Amino acid sequence: MKASFRALVLSASLFSLPFAALADVTLWAVDDMVRINPETGKAFEDSPKQLPGGISGDYRVENAVWSAQDQTVRLDAARNEVVAFQIIIEGEAAKVTVVAATMQGPGETSIPAWQFKLFREWYIRIGEKAGDTADKACMAPLGAGWYPDVAIPLTEARFGNGFSLPSKDFHTPDGSQTPRQQNQAVWVDLFVPMSTKAGLYTGKINVTADGAVHSVNIRLNVWNFAIPNTMNMHAELMNYGQTAGEPDPEVMYRYFRLAQEH
């Protein structure tokens, strides 16, 4: 009787755990040229009427960088180049952390984990009027919704690693609207050092959701040439000459270097 009672108490305690503790997530990835709607999982650029050449099909299964069959992101890069992609985390969890591992290459070569820069994408509400109006730069309107905009480093103490899904962090300025969040995008930058040996490198990014670890595999092909350190062009940076007018040449150089790295 005592043993049966203990088993009954144990069973009851398991079912009384918070839902988030038992929740699970799924992962997929997409390239750096699209924005994923956090409510629907659909790319805003999946809009044949506005962008006939935009992304389409079941890009959760396969796209320019991703294959769900082996949970792998495939990238190509020169030495001294930054390559980027996005991990999409779908589901519910009280605490999510994302950590990159060292990439192993030919022989004993590697790209250390600290060459990854990870960012939590921050969602901004675009209303119906703005979402349906072409702007002065002739950008196609892609509709209202919560657009990923700001990139928050995952090293940031308050809004970085350890976020929940869905999160209460996102809302309109007056607090009246919040997204019905179903997924969270994490932006990944990977810098390939100038000294990197050409060849195939493999690694992982691990996503831990309420203690359960999920992984995205990464296969990086490093080409046998490098992006030069010296810029031999003027980088306007789509600011219509304002950067070129920067009075401090060191500040202007930093702008150009940032553009060159990416």
Please report, for residues 63, 119, 158, 241, 245, the alpha-carbon distance to residue 163 in angstroms, rounded to integers and kept in the order given. Answer: 27, 12, 9, 39, 40
What is the structure's pLDDT at 88? 98
Average pLDDT per block of 10 residues along the chain, 262 residues long? 44 38 80 96 90 89 96 97 96 97 96 97 85 62 89 95 96 93 98 96 97 97 91 67 69 76 65
Place of tokens 């305690």: 13
Residue 219 sits at the vertex; the CA angle it makes with 214 and 222, to the nearest 5 degrees, is 150
What is the residue type of 40?
A: T
* DSSP designation for 220: E
Write out the two tokens for 32: 């750096």
What is the structure's pLDDT at 137? 53
